[in-house]
């Protein structure tokens, strides 16, 4: 039993940590491509430098994503071998496709993008930024498709010792994929846009690299306002309707709806009390849930009480809070970005210090919102590993001892802590260097670096 | 038929992985010795900078393909080799970080730290890969459910039962792998550099060659001792003897080209040797994918395979994916062809 808990914890920890990086790199892949495109179309070298600057941040983030991503594939086999043997026929198909169609593409062109600008010229550089963007987004598609199958298994038949694929297209075009992919990638763009705008705001406020600060704020806000609204409508709306239709337990738990109501209100705040089956201190907008879910002000919405308790998610409060944090932050994002866009349009944004402060301080929050969103998806699927087919407790490796898992969990925690520190050091350094002093700076690896005190030891 | 085809294809992908990531692992294993100062080490980093990530993707992709074509093998193997695999994972992470982070800060402490991490990560990975292959060849204590657990190491005695994942035989195959990849890496760095560095790599190949031959001979004898059924595979299907001959020819050509100072020839020869060794091993293991100590429990190609439909549709998209991947790789290696120098640099 303990090995199950530890394996779950290890997977949750490694994937939560991993997800910090791809959400930024997938968002930045789009933004870098936009910057590079603008620089070529307008012949504006500032945009090119901006693209190069964010390319560097992308590169470090991408590598962190790659190295923290490999453990995910491994853990299917190491910790969840029963699940792997049960559903490998299907689940690994999409994982392998990610390797064949996304990883090869992105790994090849990331190299060209980072090392090839001077050597191969602007067109190749632009093209490689497009390929990197397509590669990272294809990667997202295959991962979401894999997850979608676990949320809503399709295209299979049951056999003695597991499930077998019988309709490949059904898996690739699982109706669950479409809203989830739109929502996940939108979330990545929100993260990228907030990071870009927030850093631009920092440059403007501290009056360094001001010209670039303006570009970052402008591009970040324009992309950010579109992406933030997109998260609410259509993608978020579609996704929650889909959950209500196919996973009623998850839906009721995430809304904190214990009793079936007709019509049902939507709880903005409140603390779920599972023992007493009620929401403490609720603030409810009457009838709203019925309308949002069924487009009728009087529709009935099923509460947890009506659903078998053995299928309830095993951590209802965490699920409820994750969902509410995500939605709450998402709403705030729309407010921040809409206001910034308005000020930008009126040409007052760059002078509006309080707005710039707000943009800068907002940088961490998309990461929290995306993480909370992922928690909602995954906690809500519990107690199922594959919804309706395989319970989580039946998927774990049979001969694994809890001590072994604890050891590797601690190991991951240690390595990830060091990696996090390194990442922060490098980011702070890139931000301090800024985008425009590249020509003064020695390209790393130039044969004769300018003599600097710090280098003297090396020359000796 | 289909499972056998997939077995060949997975082995092919794995061989491509060893060929490609092998040279950047080897470059990592030798760069502290071959590169005398910071600039030479930078050059070695530059020879692998644009390509190492793509090379490593072959491992991830092979893992994915192995997972869907032989899910039962993936489940047994990965859960049975739990600790060594997670350790491999950590080594891959450390190595990836060192390759990527070294160039970001130009400070001697920083670069020296990552130089050492790169070397340690590469050396240990090479040894672990060899030991992993050694374990597969020797067989593991699978139970009737297809699961096993083995201690990471025991007292390294040839008579220990069950033997540890690291024991005398697998450590030997690990050292062979280290020697193989170091020479492969030296051939790569020699190909991509000029001057003193090039000369030192050539001498690593020439001197290492004798150690390599000795280890390979020793490991071959030991293999037939721990796993007599390997020999049966060859006697049953004698056409398989062509594979070890490829390895031998590669070894011979390697010595010839390295004395002639033909870097391209040396690199291709060490590649041929690797292809020969990998395919010989895999051929000997077939029709098992993971032999068990008790032969009745061995996982066979047939028994570990996924459904026929899954393997069939997989073949379609896999073929498309591999044509695309091969195209990218040819383009990328062609774009970054030629010797590296310190003048031009990315960021």
Can you give the pLDDT at residue A459? 35
| Contact by Cβ (8 Å): B49, B344 | no
For residue A196, the number of C-alpha atoms closer than 13 Å in the C-beta half-sphere is 36
Long-range contacts of A209-216 (CB under 8 A, 24+ apart): A209/A434, A209/A435, A209/A436, A211/A46, A211/A436, A212/A46, A212/A49, A212/A50, A212/A53, A212/A434, A212/A435, A212/A436, A214/A350, A215/A35, A215/A46, A215/A47, A215/A50, A216/A50
Can you give the pLDDT at residue A114? 86
Tokens of A274: 């599972």
**Maximum Cα–Cα distance for chain A, whole Å?**
81
* Separation of alpha carbons A218 and B347, rounded Å: 25
- Which of the four pLDDT bands, split at 50, 70 and 90, describes residue B54? confident
Kindly give, in sequence order, each residue whose CB lies less than 8 Å from that of residue A423, ignoring residues fewer than 6 positions away.
Answer: A60, A61, A64
Model confidence pLDDT, tens digit, residues B232-246? 889 999 999 999 999
Model confidence pLDDT, tens digit, residues A258-278? 888 888 888 888 888 888 888
Can you give the pLDDT at residue A79? 93
- Which of the four pLDDT bands, split at 50, 70 and 90, describes residue B343? low
DSSP string, B85-98: HHHHHHHHHHHHHH
Compute CA B2 distance to the chain's CA centroid, rounded to the nearest angstrom: 25
* Chain A residues inside the 8 Å CB shell of B149: 399
Query: H-helix or E-strand containing A268?
Result: strand A266-273
Model confidence pLDDT, tens digit, residues B96-107? 888 888 888 888
Cβ distance A95 to B106 less than 8 Å, yes or no, reads no
Instruction: Tell me which DSSP letter residue A345 carries.
Output: H
Q: Does B235 touch chain A (CB under 8 A)?
A: no
Cβ distance A92 to B71 less than 8 Å, yes or no, reads yes
Chain B interface mutation, best of A107, A165, A455, highest count of B Cβ atoms under 10 Å: A107
Q: Which of B83, B307, B317 sits opposite A404 (nearest CB)?
A: B83
Among the listed residues A395, A335, A389, A394, the one whose alpha carbon sits nearest the alpha carbon of residue A359: A335
| Contact by Cβ (8 Å): A435, A49 | yes
Compute CA B326 distance to the chain's CA centroid, rounded to the nearest angstrom: 19
| Contact by Cβ (8 Å): A322, A372 | yes
Average pLDDT value for chain B: 89
Can you give the pLDDT at residue B14? 93
Can you give the pLDDT at residue A143? 94
Specify which residues A157 forms β-bridges with.
A164
* Chain B residues inside the 8 Å CB shell of A168: 309, 313
Cβ distance A103 to B324 less than 8 Å, yes or no, reads no
Is beta strand A384-386 parallel, antiparallel or unpaired with respect to A390-391? Answer: antiparallel
* Separation of alpha carbons A100 and A287, rounded Å: 48
3-state secondary structure chain A: CHHHHHHHHHHHHHHHHHHHHHHHHHHHHHHHHHHHHHHHHHCCHHHHHHHHHHHHHHHHHHHHHHHHHHHHHHHHHHCCHHHHHHHHHHHHHHHHHHHHHHHHHHHHHHHHHHHCHHHHHHHHHHHHHHHHHHHHHHHHHHHHHHHHHHHCCCCEEEECCEEEECCHHHHHCCCCHHHHHHHHHHHHHHHHHHHHHHHHHHHHHCCCCHHHHHHHHHHHHHHHHHHHHHHHHHHHHHHHHHHHHHCHHHHHHHHCCCCCECCCCEEEEEEEECCCCEEEEEEEECCHHHHHHHCCCCCCECCHHHCCHHHCCCCHHHHHHHHHHHHHHHHHHHHHHHHHHHHHHCCCHHHCHHHHHHHHHCCCHHHHHHHHHHHHHHHHHCCEEECCCEEHHHCCCCCCCHHHHHHHHHHHHHHHHHHHHHHHHHHHHHHHHCCCCCCCCCCCCCCCCCCCHHHHHHHC
Cβ distance B71 to A84 less than 8 Å, yes or no, reads yes
Q: Which of A89, A165, A445 sits opposite B342 (nearest CB)?
A: A445
| Residue A386 Cα distances to A4, A394, B208, B218, B305, angstroms | 16, 10, 52, 48, 21
Kindly give, in sequence order, each residue whose CB lies less than 8 Å from that of residue B308, ignoring residues fewer than 6 positions away.
Answer: B2
The pTM (predicted TM-score) of the whole model is 0.89
For residue B96, the number of C-alpha atoms closer than 13 Å in the C-beta half-sphere is 26
For residue A234, cis peptide bond before it (omega within 30 degrees of 0): yes
- Which of the four pLDDT bands, split at 50, 70 and 90, describes residue B344? low
Q: Which B residues, 48 through 67, put their C-beta within 8 Å of a C-beta on chain A? A: 49-51, 53-54, 56-57, 60-61, 63-65, 67
Q: Average the pLDDT over B189-215 and give the result.
A: 91
Q: Which A residues, 375 through 414, put their C-beta within 8 Å of a C-beta on chain B? A: 397-400, 404, 407-408, 411
Closest CA–CA distance from residue A396 to any residue of chain B (Å): 10
Q: Does B343 touch chain A (CB under 8 A)?
A: yes
Q: Does B38 touch chain A (CB under 8 A)?
A: yes
* A71: closest chain B residue by CA: B89
Can you give the pLDDT at residue A1? 62
| Contact by Cβ (8 Å): A26, A65 | no
Cβ distance A422 to B101 less than 8 Å, yes or no, reads yes
Q: Does B96 touch chain A (CB under 8 A)?
A: yes
Cβ distance A77 to B67 less than 8 Å, yes or no, reads yes
Kindly give, in sequence order, each residue whose CB lies less than 8 Å from that of residue B218, ignoring residues fewer than 6 positions away.
Answer: B172, B176
| Contact by Cβ (8 Å): B244, B276 | yes
Q: What percent of chain A has pLDDT over 90?
A: 63
Cβ distance B68 to A109 less than 8 Å, yes or no, reads no
* Separation of alpha carbons A167 and A129, rounded Å: 35
Can you give the pLDDT at residue B345? 52
Chain B interface mutation, best of A4, A54, A68, A78, highest count of B Cβ atoms under 10 Å: A78
| Residue B141 Cα distances to A298, B87, B294, angstroms | 63, 21, 7
* Separation of alpha carbons A216 and A25, rounded Å: 16
Q: Does A127 touch chain B (CB under 8 A)?
A: no
* Chain A residues inside the 8 Å CB shell of B314: 93, 96
Q: What is the pLDDT along chain A (460 residues), one digit of tens a residue?
A: 688 999 999 999 999 999 999 999 999 999 999 999 999 999 999 999 999 999 999 999 998 998 898 899 899 999 999 999 999 889 999 999 999 999 989 888 888 898 888 888 999 999 999 999 999 999 999 999 999 999 999 999 998 888 889 899 999 999 999 999 999 999 999 999 999 999 999 999 999 999 999 999 999 999 999 999 999 989 988 998 899 889 989 988 898 888 888 888 888 888 888 888 888 888 888 888 888 888 888 888 888 888 888 889 989 999 999 999 999 999 999 999 999 999 999 999 999 999 999 999 999 999 999 999 999 999 999 899 999 999 999 999 988 888 889 999 999 999 999 999 999 999 999 999 888 755 444 444 434 443 444 433 333 3
A·B CB contacts under 8 A: 254
Model confidence pLDDT, tens digit, residues B124-145? 999 999 999 998 888 888 888 8
Q: Does A429 touch chain B (CB under 8 A)?
A: yes
| Contact by Cβ (8 Å): B26, A92 | no
Closest CA–CA distance from residue A21 to any residue of chain B (Å): 14
Among the listed residues A47, A57, A49, the one whose alpha carbon sits nearest the alpha carbon of residue A25: A57
User: Please, where are the H alpha helices in B193-293?
Assistant: 195-226, 229-236, 242-260, 263-285
């Amino acid at each position: 039993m303990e090995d199950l808990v530890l394996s779950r914890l290890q997977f949750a920890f490694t994937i939560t940590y991993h997800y910090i990086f791809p959400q930024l790199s997938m968002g930045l892949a789009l933004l870098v491509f936009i910057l590079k495109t603008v620089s070529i179309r307008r012949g504006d070298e500032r945009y090119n430098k901006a693209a190069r600057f964010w390319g560097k941040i992308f590169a470090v983030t991408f590598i962190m994503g790659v190295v923290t991503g490999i453990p995910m594939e491994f853990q299917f086999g190491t910790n969840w071998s029963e699940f792997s043997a049960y559903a490998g026929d299907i689940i690994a198909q999409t994982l392998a496709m990610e390797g064949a169609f996304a990883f090869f593409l992105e790994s090849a062109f990331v190299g060209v993008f980072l090392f090839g600008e001077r050597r191969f010229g602007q067109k190749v550089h632009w093209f490689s930024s497009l390929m990197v963007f397509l590669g990272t987004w294809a990667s997202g598609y295959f991962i979401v498709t894999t997850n979608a199958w676990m949320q809503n298994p399709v295209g299979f038949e049951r056999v003695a010792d597991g499930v077998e694929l019988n309709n490949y297209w059904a898996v690739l075009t699982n109706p669950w994929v479409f809203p989830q992919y739109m929502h996940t990638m939108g979330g990545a763009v929100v993260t990228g846009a907030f990071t870009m705008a927030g850093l631009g705001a920092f440059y403007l406020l501290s009056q360094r690299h001001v010209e670039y600060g303006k570009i970052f704020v402008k591009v970040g806000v324009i992309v950010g306002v579109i992406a933030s609204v997109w998260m609410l409508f259509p993608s978020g709306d579609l996704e929650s309707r889909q959950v209500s239709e196919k996973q009623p337990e998850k839906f009721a738990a995430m809304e904190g709806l214990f009793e079936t109501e007709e019509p049902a209100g939507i709880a903005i705040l409140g603390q779920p009390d599972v023992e007493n089956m009620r929401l403490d201190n609720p603030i409810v907008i009457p009838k709203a849930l019925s309308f949002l879910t069924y487009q009728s002000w009087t529709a009935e919405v099923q509460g947890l009480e009506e659903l078998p308790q053995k299928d309830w998610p095993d951590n209802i409060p965490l699920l409820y809070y994750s969902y509410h944090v995500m939605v709450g932050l998402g709403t705030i994002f729309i407010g921040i970005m809409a206001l910034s866009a308005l000020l930008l349009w009126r040409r007052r944004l760059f002078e509006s210090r309080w707005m710039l402060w707000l943009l800068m301080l907002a940088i961490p929050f998309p990461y929290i919102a995306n993480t909370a969103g992922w928690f909602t998806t995954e906690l809500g699927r519990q107690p199922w590993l594959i919804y309706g087919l395989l319970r989580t407790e039946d998927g774990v490796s049979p001969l694994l001892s809890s001590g072994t898992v604890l050891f590797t969990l601690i190991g991951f925690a240690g390595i990830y802590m060091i990696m996090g520190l390194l990442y922060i050091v490098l980011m702070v350094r890139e931000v301090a260097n800024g985008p425009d002093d590249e020509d003064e700076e020695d390209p790393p690896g130039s044969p004769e670096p300018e003599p600097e005190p710090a280098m003297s030891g090396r020359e000796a | 038929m289909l499972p056998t085809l997939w077995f060949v294809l997975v082995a092919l992908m794995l061989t491509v992985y060893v060929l490609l990531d092998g040279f950047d692992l080897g470059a990592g294993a030798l760069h502290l010795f071959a590169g005398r100062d910071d600039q030479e080490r930078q050059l070695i980093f530059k020879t692998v900078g644009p390509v190492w990530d793509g090379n490593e993707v072959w491992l991830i992709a092979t893992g994915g393909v192995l997972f869907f074509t032989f899910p039962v093998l993936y489940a047994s193997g990965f859960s049975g080799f739990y600790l060594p695999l997670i350790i491999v994972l950590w080594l891959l992470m450390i190595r990836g970080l060192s390759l990527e982070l070294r160039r970001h800060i130009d400070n001697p402490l920083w670069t020296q730290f990552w130089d050492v991490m790169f070397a340690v990560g590469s050396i240990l990975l090479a040894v672990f890969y060899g030991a992993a292959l050694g374990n597969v060849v020797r067989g593991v204590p699978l139970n009737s459910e297809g699961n096993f657990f083995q201690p990471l190491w025991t007292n390294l005695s040839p008579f220990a039962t069950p033997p540890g994942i690291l024991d005398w035989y697998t450590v030997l195959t690990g050292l062979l792998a280290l020697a193989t990849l170091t020479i492969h890496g030296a051939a790569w760095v020699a190909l991509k550099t000029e001057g003193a560095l090039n000369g030192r790599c050539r001498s690593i190949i020439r001197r290492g060659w004798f150690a390599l031959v000795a280890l390979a001979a020793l490991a071959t004898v030991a293999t037939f001792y721990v796993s007599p059924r390997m020999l049966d595979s060859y006697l049953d299907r004698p056409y398989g003897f062509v594979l070890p001959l490829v390895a031998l020819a590669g070894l011979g050509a390697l010595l010839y080209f390295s004395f002639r100072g033909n870097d391209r020839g040396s690199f291709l020869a060490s590649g041929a040797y690797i292809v020969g060794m990998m395919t010989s091993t895999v051929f000997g293991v077939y029709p098992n994918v993971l032999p068990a100590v008790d032969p009745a429990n061995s996982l066979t190609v047939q028994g570990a395979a996924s459904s026929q439909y899954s393997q069939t549709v997989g073949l379609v998209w896999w073929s498309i994916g591999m044509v695309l991947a091969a195209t990218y790789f040819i383009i990328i290696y062609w774009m970054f062809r030629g010797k590296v120098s310190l003048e031009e640099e990315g960021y």
